[in-house]
Amino acid sequence: MNAELDGTIGAILKVYADRAGVILSACDGDQPGVQMNLYRFVKSIGVTPLLCGNIKGLQDPYRNPTTQEGFAKKWGQKAHMVTSFADGTKISFEQAIVANAIGMKVAKRGMLGYDFKGHVDEMTGMYDVDQLKKLGGIVDYVVGAKPGPGVFVFGTHDDPKQQHYLNLYKLGEGPLYSFYTPYHLCHFEVPLSVARVVLFGDAVMAPLGAPQVEVVTTAKIDLKAGETLDGIGFYMTYGQCDNADVTQAQNLLPMGLAEGCRLKRDVAKDQVLTYDDVELPEGRLCDKLRAEQNAYFEVAKPMVAVG
């Protein structure tokens, strides 16, 4: 249940797991696992999934542990953890690992992230189906929609007869059809994941191969040369999704590696950081594994969607 780890070096950890003959798996109960289960269901009935989505109640990239302190105390949580929910970093990692388990992309840096107060069923006309198909499907999120919290999958069907029956069964006229799960129950569902892995050798979710979507470091405030970056959910940075071909071409700094990096130059608020902007701390295992991952997947391998 560590999307930040999975979204940074999950692909190479999957390589190591396969070599060792063990199973690397995400969990049921977290939104990524719930999306993956819904994705499998939608695909299993013959509908082609084109969007995997996450429903949020709040998205403000400038939240910090001070602004979130009251909420954290109310629910017995750590302020930096709930900040990572509010500032969009957590959902970026969650949607990245869903994309990497399916072979999907994002429509743009940061995802589309519509504000919508109705039900997700009413959103099917808001997306360009041709764009979704061209990208091989996308991951995304929506703020304020019902049912919250929940996840959703939009899919399409090319057969006129099946389109007729989807309409008959109250899913509308298409071309996108909406499926959703109105809850995620965290630790209550984790035993299901253990059973799946132990009894059936079935991972809830794991990377397919080369990363398709990454989470990049973005300045939450104006940053100054000489400063050392703090961690996820703190005061200095937030994470945004971007497609891996973009992050590699632009040498962008992964959010999962940002903590402890020393700035070599000023970086303006909302600017994404590159490796050239920072000095990495010496001797970190995460940097070694990330470099190994980049080298291993230098030539992206063909992606095969999960059946």
Task: Provide the pLDDT for residue 165.
Answer: 98
Q: Are 35 and 52 in contact (CB under 8 A)?
A: yes
Task: Provide the pLDDT for residue 81.
Answer: 93
Give the helix/strand (H/E) hosting 9.
Answer: helix 3-20
For CA atoms 264, 267, 270, 271, the dihedral sign is: negative
Task: Provide the pLDDT for residue 187.
Answer: 92
**Secondary structure tally for the chain: helices H, strands E:** 10, 9
Go through the chain and tell me how many residues it has: 307
| Confidence (pTM) | 0.94
The tens place of each residue's pLDDT in the chain, 307 residues long, gives: 899 999 999 999 999 999 999 999 999 999 999 999 999 999 999 999 999 999 999 999 999 999 999 999 999 999 999 999 999 999 999 999 999 999 999 999 999 999 999 999 999 999 999 999 999 999 999 999 999 889 999 999 999 999 999 999 999 999 999 999 999 999 999 999 999 999 999 999 999 999 999 999 999 999 999 999 999 999 999 999 999 999 999 999 999 999 999 999 999 999 999 999 999 999 999 999 999 999 999 844 444 444 4
User: What does the alpha-carbon distance between residue 133 and residue 303 come to, in Å, rounded to a whole number?
Assistant: 15
Q: E strands within 26-73?
A: 48-56
Task: Provide the pLDDT for residue 298.
Answer: 85
User: What does the alpha-carbon distance between residue 64 and residue 81 come to, in Å, rounded to a whole number?
Assistant: 10
DSSP secondary structure string, 106-160?
-SSTT---EE--SBGGGGGGGS-HHHHHHTT-EEEEEES-BSSS-EEEEEE---H
The one-letter amino acid code at 238 reads Y
Q: Are 139 and 133 in contact (CB under 8 A)?
A: no
Domains, in order of start, for the chain: 3-200 (no CATH), 213-296 (3.90.1210.10)
Non-local CB neighbours of 134 within 8 Å, separated by 6+ positions: none
Task: Point out which residues pair with 177 in neighbouring strands.
Answer: 155
Task: Provide the pLDDT for residue 1.
Answer: 81
Task: Provide the pLDDT for residue 301.
Answer: 44
Task: Provide the pLDDT for residue 307.
Answer: 44
Task: Provide the pLDDT for residue 306.
Answer: 45
